[in-house]
């Protein structure tokens, strides 16, 4: 039996509230960027660094609750 270990990194979070989805993505240098097509149009706003965030702070964004989390194989 081959027991190879894999490492995944957090890459994105999707939030839902008030019948509207928003998202945050995590860049390779662990910066967190917020996007809301209505509010920010095509821009993403820098929110901070992943290492500085409490886990609970990622559960909500702008009053919306996380509904999906995206990981990528490292």
> CA torsion 69→56→54→26, rounded to 10°?
20
Indicate whether 28 belongs to any domain.
yes
Distance from C-alpha of 13 to C-alpha of 26, rounded to nearest angstrom: 8
pLDDT digits (tens, 9 = 90+) for 13-51: 999 999 999 999 999 999 999 999 999 999 999 999 999
Indicate whether 57 belongs to any domain.
yes
Domain that holds residue 59: 10-15+23-36+43-73
Q: What is the mean pLDDT of residues 47-67?
A: 94
pLDDT at residue 2 in the model: 79
- Residue 1 pLDDT exceeds 80: no
Indicate whether 3 belongs to any domain.
no
Number of domains the chain is built from: 1
Query: Band of the pLDDT at 10, cuts 50, 70, 90?
Result: very high
Asked whether 8 and 72 are in contact (CB, 8 A), the reply is yes
């Amino acid at each position: 039996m081959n027991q190879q270990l894999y490492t995944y990194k957090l890459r994105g979070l999707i939030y839902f509230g008030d019948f509207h989805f928003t998202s945050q993505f995590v860049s390779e240098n662990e910066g967190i960027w917020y996007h809301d097509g209505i509010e920010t149009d095509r821009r993403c706003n820098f929110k901070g660094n992943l290492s500085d965030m409490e886990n609970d702070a990622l559960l909500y964004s702008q009053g919306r609750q996380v509904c999906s989390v995206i990981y990528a194989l490292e």
